[in-house]
Amino acid sequence: MRKKIVAGNWKMNQTPQEAKALCNLLKDKVNTTEVDVVFCVPFVDLYPVLEALQGTNIAVGAENMHFAESGAYTGEISGAMLKEMGVQYVILGHSERREYFGETNESVNQKTKKALEYGLIPIVCCGETLAQREANITIEWVRMQIKCALAGIDAEDAKKIVIAYEPIWAIGTGKTATSAQAQEVCAAIRQVLTEMYGQAVAEQMRIQYGGSVNAKNAAELFAMADIDGGLVGGASLKEEFADIVQYK
């Protein structure tokens, strides 16, 4: 049985002071061992959030990292930096990074490998645009994204990876994929993982759904056979996040 994982993606929200306040608002309500709970926060919020969540079961994640060890990459953050701080997860290949910051399948692959090297758990994002969905190429597209992101990664490492399926048309739009639409793609992702790593490994890997997850739709989405939790944007910045964590 896969343990559900509910992660908040704060995106570019919350100053360090606001981050502390949000942790204090949420931490008792989401401090559970029933599901894995992760707060993925801006780099400057990592210290205050790690401090505020000390002594809880809530893990902390970053929203991006660089694929190099260290060096002349002005403005970037390395896996070593995150690891040393006590960060456990890192979101990689979010569609907003692909769209606005030139993230490619290749860089996502490099970053995923580097994160694993540092013992960070990558949350690897994939998902189609509305045009791709309407052109009926969703499954093909997502399969390709997964194959590229995980290329050259062995089964032992793959097991640790969390995949987040986020249809771009559902992000921040209030337009959630239906549970059937989300399940269809998550099942297709598990299928490609089965082809790459075999059934035993694919069955262990967790696949989240993301895109306008809220307190009302979480239970139905998370009940689907291949959906192992959610990557939550807007609703992770509010008390509503607690209701999503306690979706049952």
When binding is defined by CB under 6 A, the residue of 143, 211, 221, 245 that contacts ligand 13P is 211
How many residues touch ligand 13P under the rule CB under 6 A: the total is 14
- The label of the residue with tokens 């998370």 reads 222
166 belongs to the catalytic site: yes
Is 178 a residue that touches ligand 13P (CB under 6 A)?
A: no
User: Is 94 a known active-site residue?
Assistant: yes
User: Residue 37, interface with ligand 13P (CB under 6 A)?
Assistant: no
Site track for ligand 13P across 7-26, x = CB under 6 A: --x-----------------
Query: Judged by CB under 6 A, does residue 218 bind ligand 13P?
Result: no
Window contacting ligand 13P (CB under 6 A); options: 26-34, 135-143, 204-212, 238-246: 204-212
Nearer to ligand 13P, 80 or 238 (CB): 238
Q: How far apart are CA 93 and CA 95, in angstroms?
A: 6
Given the rule CB under 6 A, which of 64-72, 108-116, 188-196, 232-240 is the region that contacts ligand 13P?
A: 232-240
Residue whose pair of structure tokens reads 């079961």 in the numeric block: 57
Window 48-107: residues binding ligand 13P (CB under 6 A): 94
Active site residues: 94, 166
Site of interaction with ligand 13P (CB under 6 A): 9, 94, 166, 171-172, 210-213, 231-235
